[in-house]
Amino acid sequence: MATPLTCRIPVQRLLLRNQPRSCGINPGLMTAATDHHFARPGNRCWPVLPAADFTPRLLHPAEQQELLDHGCGITNVVPRATARADELSAEEYREGGRLLAEKLARLRPRWLAVAGVTAYRVAFDDKHARVGPQERTLGATRLRALPNPCGLNAHWAATTMAEEHGRLRAAAFGEP
């Protein structure tokens, strides 16, 4: 049996700052191959960030460490790489949510934004969650569900995704 691909990006390096964290569902195959989050061409994560004023310019996946300079970081709910998120089991999501909660308790970022409301629902056992801020917290960390930037999530346009990310930015940085 083949060993499942996992992303080797150290979570601790990306979660040290006391600022918002974006949390993808799991690494895609391109991310696992390159060790760069949201690495597949056409993924809308990177264009959405400057549109939401998280970054001053469009970053390339290989520049992901520059997010730290802008008060952001990235991690995943599930470390196993797949071609599609629907290849993950509910147990992987729940275990990923449990492990993520432990990391958040240790590293204590102010915000965690999960990119994918379905992943959020399963990982944190909240079947009624919607995109936006959540009432639940994990310790001192406030939670928000964001639309998944994957191209398969076509019912969210990049402009409306940027608006939702902008609301996170405003809440995280105390903007009106």
Sign (positive or negative) of CA dihedral 115, 79, 36, 106: positive
- Residue given tokens 């969650």 in the structure block: 129
In the set 37, 43, 70, 165, the catalytic residue is: 37
Q: Max alpha carbon distance in the chain (Å)?
A: 53
Q: Are the C-beta atoms of residues 150 and 43 closer than 8 Å to each other?
A: yes
Q: How many CB atoms lie within 10 A of CB 112?
A: 26
What is the chain's length? 176
Q: How far apart are the first and last CA of the chain?
A: 53
Cα separation, 35 vs 62, in Å, equals 8
Within 13 Å of residue 176, how many CA atoms lie on the same side as its CB?
Answer: 0
The reply to whether 18 belongs to the active site is no
Amino acid 157 reads A
The reply to whether 60 belongs to the active site is no
Q: Which residues have a catalytic role annotated? A: 26, 37
